[in-house]
A and B are shown apart, each in its own frame.
Chain A
């Protein structure tokens, strides 16, 4: 009790102190105005007087605005107990939601063509975000250096996206609009994304489709020759464009072809098989990167006037995920260690439809596209004994009678049925399996059944829609999904969290930009299907190439720097020291064995159902793993040659730090929202219970040095245009 009062007193004290600050500020401003008024009195000339009078008017409104905004900031600082980021810091343009982007473009600075040639831009990543940005910047005339870890830009992880890409075209005439796409994305993200960014995303979505068609992306078409659409989770309209089950591949090959055209022209210099290991900061601005040539092992330095990072998500912290083997969070973590904020690290998406884990040798999990939920029905047996019999291989799914099947999504969410958002579908599967109704040999699987669709549409139609996915499934599981239902289970898939960026997609380090999955911006606490491809291409084709100019316009007088500059040399040395340190450990454990251990901790404690206790356990265990890694990892071979174990070790060192950040952030967020589910915070029906009162903010983590706790900085999310509701997919 005494303690509570104490806190209360403290808060009161802070409020009164802060109020004093406002008062002081207001008084200062009033004084300013008075000075001006004195000025008027002194000046008798008429025109001068009117000029000054105008000035007074201007000051007047400024006074109230400044007082208002500083009052707002102080209020939120008091409430949040710490430093905050305001909409102004985030560079959100003024005006109504629908005008913000246009206003921004009308007012932003541009770089003239002659100057563009003198400006170098590093783009790290050749996924949808990186490739589209590199190509577009080069087309505009900038000098681009483009890096990726694969042997070809075409192999970036975006290639694996299956289902589709959203746009607000409203071709099917089912009531779609920019606003609706914006609204669905905000709602799907459980009101944890910035309104202005999301609206812009919806706004440029249509241009993406046009652009890709022009590049020769063979989107699916109807018999009349027009583009076809399908529906995806979290939406009641059909707005998803697709190219068979290979949409990501086709979009990436489109961006890759645009990029290749610029490489051919010499406007982009390509660095394949290069691993970015640090960003170089000169006088507070990003001026280059340190990257390791993966073939020779040599660590090299690169300069540019600005650095753009589009290195994808960090889901592989879980070891087993749907991401490619090389997907990593290292570039993000290095930026964080150089002072860039890591935002909402805990927001990770568990995808409901993946092929279940089947053995300890397993290296990755395969996604079965969400588009399957269009025609597939998800169920488990109604009776526990049936589930047990199936697990013991005494019964087959086809033996279970219709009335003995529990189509639990259709039962719980009649309005959206099998098309509820991913987080909802994932948790519902976990709930059924935890309750003992799971199938498969491990009991950690549910059925995705196409028999209805095959009866209704015919096998041909189903094959045309999903043929390659069915084939993929059969190759892995050795089971024919046309005859027996598929088995699926949730797996980590996408990370909504990432580098904090402002409206211009710039991190808090000037000149350091972040695009695509690597930033935190548009999906809040949960991403809707087919929206990552949209965001990656929006960032790369239509947003960054504009916003970066607002920064570069001031850099035209900065001459190219020598990479022998102290900051570059030091950064390179730090990287080499770190590599040597890892090489010298010569312990007993392989990189993968430690990574698998980390992955299990992440899945068990930082996965679908999080609790305060579990997260604390995770933090302790992760700290122990860090110790194990830095004292007992074994990396064979040499540092100055091709060494895949070393590559993995460097990434694992960063995944351990990311894992810790994820757990810390999840522990802080005492609410359930989107993909972040804290078991303590749920409704009696087991739905996520958001807490807008206390957690309506972006949690930004600032690095404070090795072994120290990071500092928390909040960006409050004020919803100006949308009224927040508890998400409801039932009715």
Chain B
């Protein structure tokens, strides 16, 4: 029989964007190490509901590491202590019996808290709206095989495109920079012939939107790469910078 875990949870509670938040402490017993972190949170919420208390608000949806919705800062790490995974993929076997676990929301000027562990990441959408696309309309498109793309380029673009837009990179960055997120998109599209045409302008537009929305500057600490659940590499930042310099030349 697997050994069940008894835990203490310190969870950030905050009623709304302007409210003052604070940590609340909860005891939770009999958690299976096979349950996921979010299932543990479900059990905690069930306990709170049974006590007629307000359950903890948190974002989640796919629960398999792909939608980028879940976003908890656990024991000082976005998405928890394990590397290469999202909060929803974290399992309780990563914790010890009797452990105290601290759970906080993403903290960044550009991601205001909505409630408890839930933050507003619409700034990411706004960055994409500023230029994170290839300007083509539906229809009238040449055959998919008309332009061959080397496997290396396709794979490299795919690596960059794996970004799930979770915001862990921002949450972990001491400057609150969205550089890795922006770089992933710029890099993906500039690696492909279809996206190359607008590459410099794209970089410029997205970066200026990023600045405008209150994200900080990148000082190459590399913390983002270390905490990114999809292992997006900071080499993409280098590619972004090249495109950005290109934009300056054009201007």
State the A residues within 8 Å of B (CB). 132, 135-136, 139, 150-155, 157, 159-160, 169, 171, 207, 209-216, 218-227, 243-244, 246, 249-250, 253, 256-258, 260-261, 263-264, 270, 272, 295, 324-326, 358-359, 361-364, 366-367, 471-472, 475-476, 478, 541-542, 545, 590, 592-593, 634, 636-637, 642, 644-645
Contacts and interface: CB of A to CB of B under 8 A. Distances in A.
B235 interface: no
A359 B55 contact: no
Contacts of B138: 132, 135-136, 139, 211, 258, 541-542, 545
Interface string B44-79: 001001101111010111111111110000000000
A248 to B, nearest CB: 8
27 contacts: A139-B138, A151-B59, A151-B69, A151-B120, A151-B122, A152-B121, A155-B68, A159-B66, A159-B67, A210-B144, A213-B144, A214-B134, A215-B134, A216-B157, A218-B161, A222-B151, A226-B145, A243-B158, A249-B66, A257-B134, A263-B129, A326-B61, A366-B63, A541-B139, A545-B138, A592-B42, A642-B118
Interface stretch (B85-93, B95-103, B217-225, B238-246): B85-93
Given A212-B144, A221-B148, A225-B150, 7 more contacts: A214-B141, A246-B162, A257-B133, A358-B34, A361-B43, A366-B64, A592-B42
Nearest to A364: B63
A470 to B, nearest CB: 13
B149 A221 contact: yes
A128 B158 CA distance: 19
A695 B64 CA distance: 39
A592 B46 CA distance: 9
Contacts of A359: 32, 34-35
Given A218-B188, A220-B154, A326-B61, A210 B143 contact: yes
A598 B34 CA distance: 24
B217 to A, nearest CB: 24
A154 B49 contact: no
A225 B193 CA distance: 12
A160 B89 CA distance: 14
B129 A634 contact: no
A216 B125 contact: no
A215 B136 contact: yes
B18 to A, nearest CB: 13
B236 interface: no
Nearest to A226: B145
Interface string B120-132: 1110110011111
B132 to A, nearest CB: 6
A478 B133 contact: no
Contacts of A260: 125, 128-129, 132-133
A214 B35 CA distance: 42
B42 A645 contact: no
B9 to A, nearest CB: 16
Nearest to A212: B144
A366 B88 CA distance: 12
Nearest to A591: B49
A475 B86 CA distance: 11
A215 B136 CA distance: 7
B70 to A, nearest CB: 10
Given A150-B69, A213-B144, A159 B133 contact: no
B214 interface: no
A341 B144 CA distance: 38
Given A153-B125, A221-B154, A590-B50, A363 B63 contact: yes
Contacts of A135: 138
Q: In the A-B complex, list the 3 residue pairs whose CB atoms are closest, starting with the nearest.
A: A225-B148, A257-B133, A264-B129
Nearest to B166: A155
Nearest to B90: A475
B61 A244 contact: no
A48 B168 CA distance: 81
A644 B151 contact: no
Contacts of B149: 221, 225
A431 B39 CA distance: 31
A649 to B, nearest CB: 11
Given A150-B61, A216-B192, A636-B55, A209 B67 contact: no
Given A153-B125, A216-B188, A324-B62, A227 B46 contact: no
B173 interface: no
B55 A214 contact: no
B189 interface: yes
A246 B164 CA distance: 11
A393 to B, nearest CB: 12
B92 to A, nearest CB: 10
B38 interface: yes
Contacts of B194: 213-216
A152 B166 CA distance: 10
Contacts of A226: 145, 148
A171 B148 CA distance: 13
B195 interface: yes
Contacts of A219: 144, 154
A243 B158 CA distance: 7
Given A590-B50, A642-B114, A272 B122 contact: yes
A448 to B, nearest CB: 17
A211 to B, nearest CB: 5
Most buried by A among B52, B53, B155, B158: B158
Contacts of B81: none
A361 B61 CA distance: 17
A458 B139 CA distance: 41
A261 B202 CA distance: 12
A497 B39 CA distance: 30
B154 A644 contact: no
B172 interface: no
Contacts of A224: 148
Interface string B23-47: 0000000001011101100110010
Given A139-B137, A215-B134, A590-B49, A160 B67 contact: yes
B136 A214 contact: yes
B107 interface: no
Contact of A152 (B114, B125, B148): B125
B62 A258 contact: no
B28 to A, nearest CB: 12
A223 B151 CA distance: 5
Contact of B91 (A211, A227, A478): A478
